Amino acid sequence: MAKRIHRDPEGSRATRRIARRSKASLRGSMVAKLPGFKHPRILQFESALEYAFLCLMLVRNDIHHIWDQPPAVQYISADRRPAKHVFDFLITLVGGEKIAIAIKSMDRVLSTK
């Protein structure tokens, strides 16, 4: 029996699929290997800012795991209605701390005030 020399990366664990086509922003995926991944995994991004963020996170030695499009967080909105938000990434540091990341351009942040 021949020894297998190639293994496809594991798929993204995203809970929300990104639209593959956009005239306004960069969409795509990359293959990454982190200590928290048993095998290399596909990570998705929806903008050039998200891509740059992933590139910066992948060179840090304190990042254990990255989850793209993790499960939605439920909360009560300012108008007191139930709402949900899907963060762009959930980062787990080597020490176990988890950080939910939402990436937006400054223009979008200022326009939602």
* pLDDT at res. 27: 80
| 21 in a structural domain | no
The greatest distance separating any two alpha carbons of the chain, rounded to the nearest whole angstrom, comes to 64
| 48 in a structural domain | yes
Total structural domains in the chain? Answer: 1
Kindly indicate the confidence band of residue 103, based on its pLDDT and cuts at 50, 70 and 90. very high
Per-residue model confidence as pLDDT tens digits over 15-26: 877 766 666 667
- Rounded Cα distance between 89 and 86, Å, is 9
Contacts of residue 85, Cβ cutoff 8 Å, sequence gap at least 6: 72, 73, 75, 102
| 49 in a structural domain | yes
* pLDDT at res. 50: 94
- Rounded Cα distance between 13 and 10, Å, is 9
| 64 in a structural domain | yes
Domain of residue 95: give its range.
28-111
Q: How many CB atoms lie within 10 A of CB 29?
A: 19
Per-residue model confidence as pLDDT tens digits over 29-82: 999 999 999 999 999 999 899 999 999 999 999 999 999 999 999 999 999 999
